[in-house]
Amino acid sequence: MKTDTIYNHFCECIGSQNVLRNESMKNHTTFRIGGEVKYFLQPQDITSVQALLRICTDEKIPFHIIGNGSNILVSDDGFAGAIIQIYKNMSEVTHTEEMIKAQAGASLTQIANVAAKANLTGLEFAAGIPGTVGGAVVMNAGAYGGEMKDVLDQVVVLSQAGETITLAKEELEMGYRTSIIKKKKYIVLETVFALKRGDETMIHDKMEELKEQRVSKQPLEFPSAGSTFKRPEGHFAGKLIMEAGLRGFSVGDAQVSEKHCGFVINKGNATAADVIKLMQCVKEKVQEQSGIELEPEVQMLGDFKGEE
């Protein structure tokens, strides 16, 4: 199928206003880094996601699902396929009694705020995490003692074959930054959280406390992908990086944050190649100093062979 025909099929599925060609991924990642993607697609519902997957599968177009791009580093060469963004077009959040239902594109801050307004406790930790529900569930995101696995009741996913599956919490196999969803490459469509009644003042106070901690301790004033490395068992990546003398270490405009060494930030015009080189230097120095090998938490998308 010719490129123009594929483009037309995408437009028939979700409307031309939701199909971008040769789109810079700098516009769609919190790192503000990345080359162009051939097709950038923004579906509105489950049916349109299924239709896009069928086209990609039939035409052998590589695809990748993103939310708001908060935990991703895209190659400077971009991605020669389709990015399907489940974000603002699929971000409805509703609640009944002690349950909150959220589409995958809803932000974690959005669902935490809905919970707080309903006097439901359990999601305070999620307020301020820069990501969507879908990505958070895949990676079992967490902060300040809370994790997705603590509050999830069930998740509706889409298999690579386009089949919708409902997974109960017991089936999610959630661990540190992993889940059955990640292992089987399922696509999160919506989630249901089971919360508890709480005191309105205490919920808001907790959210404000965590917000102040984030603002004071994290480099929120610069583009980044969040925590760059996973937490090694029994250690903290940021502390190991700091002890290796790498606070403020730079490659081009990519820098180990002076505010929190667990973050690599974009000082302005960092490239993916800068970030990859910096991460490799950090890994080598930390292993030399402590004997501990750091593993990336940020996900890589595209061809990085020429950037290593």
The domain limits of the chain are 3-88, 91-207, 219-307
Taken in order 138, 83, 78, 69, the sign of the CA dihedral is negative
Q: Is the pLDDT of residue 12 over 60?
A: yes
Please list the residues that pair with 194 across neighbouring strands: 99
CA 92 to CA 243: how far, in whole Å?
Answer: 44
CATH entry 3.30.1360.20 includes domain 219-307: no
Per-residue tokens: 285: 């120095």
Phi, psi for 265 (deg, rounded to 5) = -115, 160
Q: How many CB atoms lie within 10 A of CB 308?
A: 9
Ranges 54-63, 137-146, 152-161, 287-296: which has the least confidence: 137-146
CA 298 to CA 197: how far, in whole Å?
Answer: 34
**Mean pLDDT of the chain, nearest integer:** 94
When pLDDT is cut at 50, 70 and 90, the band that residue 119 belongs to is very high
When pLDDT is cut at 50, 70 and 90, the band that residue 308 belongs to is low
* Catalytic position from the list 124, 227, 231, 307: 227
Determine what percent of the chain is predicted with pLDDT higher than 90: 88
Q: Is the pLDDT of residue 2 over 70?
A: no
Does the predicted TM-score (pTM) go above 0.85? yes
CATH entry 2.30.110.10 includes domain 91-207: no
CA 31 to CA 254: how far, in whole Å?
Answer: 10
For residue 54, indicate whether it is catalytic: no
When pLDDT is cut at 50, 70 and 90, the band that residue 18 belongs to is very high
For residue 190, indicate whether it is catalytic: no
CA nearest 73: which of 275, 279, 223, 220? 275
How far CA 128 is from CA of 59, 198, 242, 294, in Å, comes to 39, 20, 24, 25
Mean pLDDT throughout 242-257? 98
Q: Is the pLDDT of residue 113 over 80?
A: yes
184: Cα separation from own chain's centroid: 17
How far CA 180 is from CA of 137, 152, 176, 193, in Å, comes to 10, 14, 12, 18
Per-residue pLDDT reduced to its tens digit, 70-94: 999 999 999 999 999 999 999 999 9
* Catalytic position from the list 70, 177, 179, 257: 177
Q: Is the pLDDT of residue 1 over 80?
A: no
Please list the residues that pair with 196 across neighbouring strands: 121
Q: Which numeric CATH code is attached to 3-88? A: 3.30.43.10
For residue 243, indicate whether it is catalytic: no
Mean pLDDT throughout 162-173? 94
